[in-house]
Structure 1
Amino acid sequence: MKRGRLIRNIAVGLLAVGLLVVFVYLFVSSPSRRNADGRCGGVVVRINAHQGGEPLFLSPDGVVDELTRHGIVLKGRPLDSIDLRGIEKTLSSLSVYEQVEAFIAPSSATLQIRLKEKHPLFIVQDRTGKSHYVTEGRGTISVRQGFATYLPVVSGDLDLQYATSDVYDLMAVLRRDSDLVDYFGQIYVDASDGIVLIPRIGSTRVIIGKTTDWEEKLRKWRIFASSVLPRRGMNAFAYVNLDYAGQVVARDRYGVQGFGRDEEGELVRLDAVAVSTEPAAPAPAPVVAAPAPKAESRPTSDQLRQDKPKQDKPKQDKPKQDKPKQDKPTGSKPSPAKAPPSKPTPTKQPASKPAAAKPATTKSTASPKPNGNPKKPPTNQSKKK
């Protein structure tokens, strides 16, 4: 019995010691003991953006910097000196948050800030040069330095009242259309044409006018963009006017001059000769053909070079015709006396020379004796006396 009591007492003692150790550990490691001085250990910012995406205006660190810029320093500050209402008022003055909540978590001795962003739809630049965000619910936020977001821009001749009425309705129609929600990057309000849409791709101005039947006008644009632009190109038209009932009016960017339409109705560039209407237009055609005679002049020079040797050939043939004179050695001696007059006659009279030689031969053949020829010169001298 004594042994059983001893064991029971030992077990109870061990259990008591264990409970004491656990109590001491929890007491020492509790947050109140870690922050016995009651100071803020940190700031946790949670931002609820639209559709659970990234914050559009300020990041969590940007929120802390914004509070510091207003003179509110939180980390390391005594918890009982933090003005939670002042923090909420400061963040609400930015006009970009729909809900602001600030509180202290006693378990961690940190400041918790929960924010819910407003949903901006587009940016408005009015006629005075001021910029505003137009948010969901037709609200407005003044644009200030330090935060910005990527949104469509509406500018031109408008004010906030027009931006939150007709322009707001147009943007609502565009958001409901999955094909056009991100199609247009800029909207311009013209004093005479009304609302003009500028696509993100291309520079064609889409005029939808001032009347508020936006769905019908955008329906015509979808038909035009799907049937005409693929064949003509995104920049083929200067503008497309949708403000006419039952029709679409478009203007070619390059006009009529210099362009025409082919068999399929597509715009094609014409030649410069076909486009010009002046009477002097056909003159350039022969000017283009002028280089042809130059090509002929080159062969003529070659022909002249080839013709020169042809003219020299007959000159070489003429002395060949005179060579038969050597075949007349049978004649009498006075025949060489008549040869000198034949030398100064280079003219083209080859037939005259043999004619002169024939009478000399006839005289020699007429005399039966060979000695008759030397007797003739004295007879002639006697006649002269």
Structure 2
Amino acid sequence: MSAIAWIAAVSLAAWGFLLLGQGFFWRTDQRLPPREAPSPWPSVAVVVPARDEAEMLPVSLPSLLAQDYPGRAEIFLVDDSSTDGTGALARELADRFGGLPLTVVSPPEPESGWTGKLWALRHGIELAREDGPDYLLLTDADIAHEPDSLRELVAAARTNGLDLVSQMARLRVTTAWERLIVPAFVYFFAQLYPFRRVNKPGARTAAAAGGCVLLRTETAERARIPDSIRQAVIDDVSLARAVRAAGGRIWLGLAERVDSVRPYPALSDLWRMVARSAYAQLLHNPLLLIGTVAGLAVVYLAPPAGVYAGLSGGDTPAGLLGGAAWAVMAGTYVPVLRYYRQSLWLAPLLPFTALLYLLMTVDSAFRHYRGRGAAWKGRTYARPEAAPER
């Protein structure tokens, strides 16, 4: 066989493993586990870090204020040095809509060794703990919740003895670029952190989705959250690992009634979203970057290359092997497309989407070595070192 045929054969073998041996990552059936209403309902503090979120708050904050929760619950919004009136707007929305009580706090700029979001969460959690809540709901300022969201999260945690319950919010999919890239973001995340493995007690795999995390307060204190992860760029995965290391039980799944309202209309918007943390995912390790690029090329790009070699060059083995690998690849993508209610014709385009993610990952490394690192709303975490112990 030709070299491209052998590479296509390796790709097909890899897809055989991914299909059956990677925790069935491609399935979308990990939703909130069976639950019953607890009696009495535990108390909850909702902590929302917000930096320049005046555009998002009119959509997201009223959904939190309107939570239909039978127990005691209150909201703490941390205005993280915003310049667009985020804090004032939050108070105005609370006055207008009523609902759960809202407290707005404005901490100073982050101390050295902290990322901005975790610094904001630290202040929000400290304020929330004064009232001794049983649970903390950590949710981003661009996340909208259905009225029963908090109730269902708490019931799931209480019924199943979970210390952390996290739902991956359904991201916005409206523009052509969002349709091409956003479902793949969830697909690739699940491939790295198969939800079934995350949810298996005692498993080594740990992950969470930072936009919606319900956390038992006692466990957060035992795991020293957020101090123990204060310099983490990928804070949600670090949070889950800290909770599991402290003996906590974690659960991660797809949301049905929790949505991200942040738009990413252009390719450049999506590119920045991925590139700001992709190299951090690889621990800023050049060897891991090289291995990832090679792996993506073999797994995602070799199948269409094999088909092309078969059609244009008469390389029948390459064409057949590449076509088989491409078919398995597209088939594993179908459940995520259905979850996002997108056309299944996007499934064969996954190699092109993977190429974009490959380029975003390489660009993330370039940004890091140029000192631009994980940039977000005016802050840059260029070359993070190990967080110093206090």
TM over 0.5: no
Q: TM-score, normalised by structure 2?
A: 0.18
Higher share of residues assigned strand: 1
Q: TM-score, normalised by structure 1?
A: 0.18
Larger radius of gyration: 1
